[in-house]
Structure 1
Amino acid sequence: MKSFDYQTSVTQLKKMAYAYYVLDDPIATDEEYDLLYHQVKKYESDHPHIIDPTSPTQRVGDTPLKEFEKNTHLQRMWSLDDIFNTQELKEWVDRILKAYPQSSFVCSPKFDGASLNLCYENGILSTATTRGDGQIGELVTQNARTIHSIPLSIPLQEKIEIRGEVVINKQNFESLNAQRAQNGENLFANPRNAAAGSLRQLDSQIVAQRKLNFIPWGVGYHTSKHTSFFGLVNEIFSYGFFKPPFIKHCKSIDEIQACYQEILNNRDQYPVMLDGMVIVVDEIPTQRSLGFTIKSPRFACAYKFPAIEKSSKIRSITLQVGRTGIITPVAELDPVEIEGAMISRATLHNFSEIAKKDIRIGDQVIIIRSGDVIPKIIKPLSALRKGDETPIVRPTQCPICQSELLIEEKFIKCQNLTCPARIQESLAHFVSKKALNIDGLGGKIIEQLYSQKLIQTIEDLYSLKKEDLLALEGWKEKKAQNALDGIQATKGVELWRLINALGIEHIGEGASKKLQNAFGLEVFNQNKENFLSLDGFGEEMAESFSEFISVNSEKIKRLLEIISPTCPAKSSDSSHWLYGKSVVLTGTMSQDRESIKTYLESLGAKVSSSVSKKTDYVIYGENAGSKLEKARELGVECLSEGELNRKI
């Protein structure tokens, strides 16, 4: 391998790894990376005396440790004081400004993970140490080297401690717990515990499989001449570290509060768990003057979010029957407050999940709540069991209609199409936003109309009379008219909405649009083979749709006559600049989001909900948040709503 240029190859391999693991924007295929990686590894095997310690091949240690050594931080790692509301924020900021009125602040997300202190000497990563007691932590350098967002070398030659958070994203956390459940291992309670537990693995090859990420948030010992903390951390990001999707320089309490609200509003869109926002005085000389209390810096604090993880006790189990007949077990809990809401129920998904996690009635369990969706139970606290907990038994009869249930590997299903619970859920889905989107009708109203026997089928919606509605409790002229107007407005609706509204198993919004685009109004006259020819349609989807048509042909015929759905002409102008482009919408627009989405799709665009390296355009309105920030970081073209309209 005399012609092999080792250093050039290592440099190229580093660039490929950085683009893939840190920027999430690969510059090479997996095959190209693997080929170069093995060429470098072969060369190093033949020439062990000249191995570059920063080579990507050196990230995984070979020998598991017996225990971790202790290591002393060059400068103490402090804990942050917490504040929880606007009054406490005002008091904290006022205390700073009273002594230093020209102070400004840096705001960034507070990531929920495990703190880690990296020490670089002569540009090379020398040690990685956990927080420990703030003065002495555990030496986990071998594990840190497996984390691709931790550079093995940086361009700064002076000694520096770079501090940050080791995190695992939500998707990888779910996958990790699923694998542990499959293997009969204890589950991690949350992503923070998963990150901390992974970082303390004695076998670094296990750590390498956990897909951890390191996000810098500050420094310890350093000799930098920077006077601005904002300038210093941005320089650190330029060394090859992952840059947070949101970090801002603020000059007033109003700007700080606006940052907090923006991060809070978008917390569920972040791929990793956040538990608040960090506020740091920007002026480094002022930081030094303010100093520290016995445990915390006076120049920084954590503005915490409302808690989203709590524990509670399972009192009983309720069985819910969905529109497809799937039985979902729901835990009835001792009420507990999460994010300002009193939570007394949490989904248990299915009985296989219950068995894997060994959840019992009477267990104290850990609950998490993400956004406004129903909370879910992560794991039981089995160590707290007293012996009177009882197993959760799989039902054999439908709790509503008492018919015998179909027992499958994961799911238990009521097969009775006339089951009242199935009918009611189907009606609620039919009028929902992503289906027929009927204003004035929601789940509670459907429940009332069904219980009063005004509607028993979808077709009954179109036979409702004003006098029937006015006879009901809580109904007045305006409410009744709005509901009837909403029902009439569905006539002539786009075909995909009707398909989606039918609630066919495995057929959602995306599949409904594909069916409309492929077959138009003839969609219900196709066979299974035709559906299988569609991109993304597998055996299960094609079988489900064709079987539904076969069983419900008369029902479909009546609905088509009543609603008369339409198929807008599909854009055939492949030369249009939006044709085939991936577009993401964010912020408050002058029109409702759904109308803009429909219009863009009519031009041939593919509207997505999240920003990635594959996104072509981000269209933004007022108060655009993290999606716009991420798009700019990835170099995605961003257009305001006005710019979009002018360009079209």
Structure 2
Amino acid sequence: MNLEQYKKAVEQLNLYAYHYYVLDDALTTDEVYDKLYHEVLEYEEANKEHISASSPTQRVGDSVSDGFTKAAHLSRMWSLEDVFNSEDLEKWLTKTYKLDKNISFYCEPKYDGASLNLIYEDGILTHGITRGDGEIGELITQNVKTIRSIPLTIEHKEKIEIRGEVVIYKEEFEKINQERAKNKEALFANPRNAAAGSLRQLDSSITASRNLVFLPYGVGENLLEQKLLSQKMDYIYSQGFKKPPLRATCSGFEEIEAVYEEMNKNRDSYEMMLDGMVIKVDEIASQIDMGYTVKNPRFSVAYKFPAVEKITRVKEIILQVGRTGAVTPVAIVEPTNIDGVVVERATLHNFDEIDRKDIRINDKVIILRSGDVIPKIIKVLTHERDGSEVEYKRPTECPVCKSELLDEGVLLKCQNLRCEARVINSIIYFASKPCLNIDGLGVKIVEALFNSGLVKSVVDLFDLTLEKLLTLEGFKDKKAQNLLDSLESAKGSEYWRFINSLGIEHIGEVASKTLSTNFGSGFIDATKEQIVACDGVGEEMAESLLEFVRVNRDTILRLQEILQPLEPLKREEAKENPFKGKSVVLTGSMSEPRDKIKETLESLGAKIVSSVSKKTDFVIYGEDAGSKYDKAMDLGVECLNEEEMRGKIEQA
């Protein structure tokens, strides 16, 4: 191999490495890579004066440091202010818009790892420095060079600081802990700790063995001319760095929220751990004008994910039967305090999830609690199994009535219409507030009615008489009559409440209103194509509705005959007026209930939305209007008080 061939070989190896470690798209086999790598290594050993700074051989960690020296960042690495919900975000946006109204935002993941600052001079990586206190960190360049996703050389020749997070992918984290368990070493608590610990190893060969990944999130000192941060980051990625799983530029609250929801929803599917989303003003000039507080930049914020994770143990898996007959598994776990709440149950969603995650009784698991949602198992710590774990066997009979279960793969269903769990749960739901709102039909009374044989289905409720009720223990004349009066008052309810009360799987309040508006009583004859054509109704919902109607058509018609629910009035298309087709936000205290004003505006063809954005046409405000009014003023949205709104309506 001569010098020219050596340079080409180094270039080829770096191309292989870039595709493998950055793009996850291998161009060759390990055998081909290793052969070429050793040819390069052989040449370098004979020609040390020709060794290229970009050679992959310069990554190999084989030195042991006595300790790390301190090094200053060229520009400070700031920490970010945190926000935790949409209200906090709105407040931050209001403050930011007061500094500059003509801005957009760049959103990217907030990685859960260890911050690192890279300094390149004349296109060569010269320094790798930990965050430290933001001004001074530890110089760990030798370790940094072992990270395959960090280019040793880049095309950009001016001095530049590239900031990012060093992470360990979840799959790699599991392998590391399995290896540590075999060696009877202490396990890492999470990938973040593993990444930070690996990055600061005095023996760089250990760092090299951990498969760390560097993900850029910004720049420090630089002479880049791009006017937008998003453009600067595009340029950084073009230098050979790994891109994030999701990033976006947004114009305001609604778009930011949409990206946040997408990132939060998909976070478990990403290879790395995330703990939120970072939002930055995209315009560099505006960033400079906004500046910094003592602690944080004014132009950036971390929007944290609302979740807390803990490790616990699965004690038992029990079964619940819902009103539709669907049998769902629930994990009973050792009591675990998560953010002040003692958790004893975790949802398992369905039986496929048990199989997919290989969840066993007595397994150690990581559970995640998000808001008020029932916690779920997100990971089984298989490396901590000691042989006491027991595989869970898929049930074949209903836990309540013992009848054979229908196995639909993901779902198991009890088909016994007289199953106590099905009847009792369906009646309780039928009588609940979002449905027919029948007072007096609590759990104990429904159980008493069922166990006595007086009620074996929802329809039987309307065959009850005073004489029948007085046969039940605890029922006196007044209590019995009150229940009969409540059953009578359920008649003539709005039609959407009737649909909702049927307890059709996947059909809730919103879908019930949609079906009622589009079809009324004709929903039982609607085709799949007609149902799917409704706004917000998908195929799964349509199929569930069609199956329910097929099985329960006679019951639906009988209940409709008894209850006589009110068919929805067909709203005529609004005449031309200032609010027709406009997006309107209501805020503050009005002279009449806001729902009534909402109804009036909707009858005029307005669309009532909950948050203010550049797309909002009007904000109608009352007393104590608050942040929505402020944001509207900042964005230049037309604001009307109640009197001005009524004036526009009268002029129409």
- State the TM-score, normalized to the length of structure 2: 0.57
Contact kept in structure 2, 1:129 and 1:141, CA below 8 Å: yes
Measured after TM superposition, the shift of residue 438 of structure 1 is: 6.1
Alignment of 1:240-319 (within 5 A): 240-310=240-310, 318-319=315-316
Q: 1:101 to 1:480 in 2, by over 3 A?
A: closer
Q: Which amino acid aligns with 1:218?
A: G
Instruction: Give matches, 1:358-437, under 5 Å.
Output: 368=368, 373-374=376-377, 409=387, 411-412=389-390, 431=406, 433-435=408-410, 437=411
Provide closer, same or farther for how the CA distance between residues 134 and 35 of structure 1 changes in structure 2, counting only shifts above 3 A. same
**Size of the alignment, in residue pairs?**
428
Aligned twin of 1:63: 63
The residue aligned with 2:32 is 32
Describe the superposition over 1:484-531 as per-residue Cα deviations: whole angstroms up to 9, x where unpaired.
xxxxxxxxxxxxxxxxxxxxxxxxxxxxxxxxxxxxxxxxxxxxxxxx
Which amino acid in 1 is paired with 2:334? E
Q: Evaluate the alpha carbon distance shift between residue 482 and residue 210 of structure 1 in structure 2; reply closer, same or farther with a 3 A threshold.
A: same
C-alpha deviation, 1:71, in angstroms = 0.9
For the residue of structure 1 that corresponds to 2:277, the secondary structure is: strand
- Given the superposition, is the C-alpha separation of residues 320 and 263 from structure 1 closer, same or farther in structure 2, using an over 3 Å criterion? closer
In structure 2, the CA distance between the partners of 1:274 and 1:157, relative to structure 1 (3 Å rule), is same
Q: 1:333 to 1:411 in 2, by over 3 A?
A: closer
Q: Distance in 1 between matches of 2:68 and 2:403?
A: 57
C-alpha spacing 1:351/1:261, structure 2 compared with 1 (3 Å): closer
1:31–1:378 Cα change, 3 Å: closer
- Looking at structure 2, the residues matched to 201 and 17 of structure 1 have their Cα atoms a distance apart, in angstroms, of 23
Q: Does 1:591 align with 2:594?
A: no
- What whole-Å deviation, never above 9, does each CA across 1:200-244 have from its counterpart, x for those lacking one? 111111111211111100111111222111100110010000011
The 8 Å contact of residues 161 and 220 in structure 2, kept in 1 or not, is answered as yes
Asked if 1:476 corresponds to 2:458, the answer is yes
Matches within 5 A, 1:488-567: none
Q: CA deviation at 1:64?
A: 1.3
CA distance in 2, matches of 1:59, 1:472: 79
Tell me: CA distance 1:111–1:301, structure 2 relative to 1, closer, same or farther (3 Å): same
Structure 2 match to 1:9: 9
Any idea what SS the aligned residue of 1:266 has? helix
Contact 2:278 2:301 in 1 (8 A): yes
Flag the 1:298–1:34 CA change in 2: closer, same or farther, 3 A.
same
Question: For residues 381 and 166 of structure 2, what CA distance do their matches in structure 1 show?
Answer: 21
**Deviation readout 1:48-75 (Å, 9 max, x if unpaired):** 1211121111111321112111111111
Task: Provide the rounded CA distance (Å) in 1 between the counterparts of 2:452 and 2:14.
Answer: 71
Q: 1:574-617: CA deviations, max 9, x gaps?
A: xxxxxxxxxxxxxx99634999xxxxxxxxxxxxxxxxxxxxxx
Pair 1:50–1:90, CA change in 2 (3 A): same
Deviation at residue 335 of structure 1 after TM alignment: 4.3
Helix, strand or coil: the match of 2:211?
coil
Higher mean Cα deviation, 297-306 or 258-267? 258-267
Please give the alpha-carbon distance, in whole angstroms, between the structure 2 residues aligned to 1:258 and 1:32. 44
Task: Supply the AA of the counterpart residue of 1:332.
Answer: E
Q: Distance in 2 between matches of 1:72 and 1:428?
A: 72
1:336 to 332, 335, 338: 338
Q: 3-state SS of the aligned residue for 1:434? A: coil
> How far apart, CA to CA, are the structure 1 residues paired with 2:141 and 2:537?
48
Residue 89 of structure 2 aligns to a residue in which SS?
Answer: helix
Higher mean C-alpha displacement, 155-164 vs 30-39? 30-39
CA–CA distance in 1 between the matches of 2:78 and 2:261? 26
Specify the SS of the correspondent of 1:343. Answer: strand
Q: What CA deviation, in whole Å up to 9, does each residue of 1:465-492 have, x standing for no partner?
A: xxx9996988435999999xxxxxxxxx
Residue in structure 2 matched with residue 126 of structure 1 by the alignment: 126
1:197 aligns with 2:203: no
Between the aligned partners of 1:72 and 1:447, the Cα distance in structure 2 is 71
RMSD: 4.4
Give matches, 1:314-329, under 5 Å.
318-320=315-317
Say if 2:118 and 2:129, in contact at 8 Å, map to a contact too.
yes
- CA distance in 2 between partners of 1:8 and 1:433 (Å): 58
Q: Distance in 2 between matches of 1:127 and 1:137?
A: 11
Task: Give 1:146 shift.
Answer: 1.0
Would the aligned equivalents of 2:180 and 2:186 in 1 still touch at CA under 8 Å? Answer: yes
Deviations 1:265-322 (A, max 9, x none): 111111111111100001111111111111111110001111332478x8xx834589
Change over 3 Å in CA distance of 1:30–1:254 after alignment to 2: same
TM-aligned CA distance change 1:345 to 1:37, over 3 Å:
same
SS in 2 for 1:66: coil
Q: What displacement does 1:168 show? A: 1.0
**Does 2:215 match 1:215?**
yes
The 5 A counterparts of 1:48-127 are: 48-127=48-127
Matched, 1:227 2:227: yes
What do residues 150-175 of structure 1 show as CA deviations (whole Å, max 9, x unaligned)? 11011111111000011111111111
Asked whether the 8 Å contact 1:189–1:378 carries over to 2, the reply is: no
Query: Residue 321 of structure 1 contacts residue 421 of structure 1 at CA under 8 Å; is this kept in 2?
Result: no
Q: Do 1:368 and 1:378's aligned partners in 2 also have CA atoms closer than 8 Å?
A: no
- Alignment partner of 1:214: what SS? strand
Aligned amino acid, residue 54 of structure 1: S
Q: Give the structure 2 partner of residue 524 of structure 1.
A: none
Distance 1:283 1:450, change over 3 A: closer
- Distance change >3 Å, CA 351–CA 300, structure 1 → 2: same
Contact 1:109 1:277 in 2 (8 A): yes
**d(CA) in 2 for partners of 1:352 and 1:439?**
26
Q: Deviations over 1:546-582 (max 9, x none)?
A: xxxxxxxxxxxxxxxxxxxxxxxxxxxxxxxxxxxxx
Distance in 1 between the 2:99 and 2:502 partners? 62
Q: Would the alpha carbon gap of residues 433 and 69 (structure 1) be closer, same or farther in structure 2, given more than 3 Å must change? A: farther
Q: The residue matched to 2:206 in structure 1 has which SS? A: helix
1:165 aligns with 2:161: no
User: Aligned partners of 1:589 and 1:20: how far apart in 2?
Assistant: 42
Task: Return closer, same or farther for 1:173/1:433 CA change in 2, 3 Å cut-off.
Answer: farther
Q: Deviations over 1:1-40 (max 9, x none)?
A: 4497100110011001101111011111221111111111
Q: Indicate how the Cα distance of structure 1 residues 3 and 128 shifts in structure 2: closer, same or farther if over 3 A, else same.
A: closer
- 2:458 partner letter: K
- Identity of matched residues, %: 44
* Cα distance change on mapping 1:226 and 1:103 into 2, 3 Å: same
Looking at structure 2, the residues matched to 591 and 431 of structure 1 have their Cα atoms a distance apart, in angstroms, of 22
What one-letter code is carried by the residue in structure 2 that aligns with 1:336?
I
Could you say if the C-alpha distance between residues 352 and 161 of structure 1 is closer, same or farther in structure 2, counting changes exceeding 3 Å?
same
| 2:561 match | none
Report which of the two structures shows the higher radius of gyration computed on alpha carbons: 2
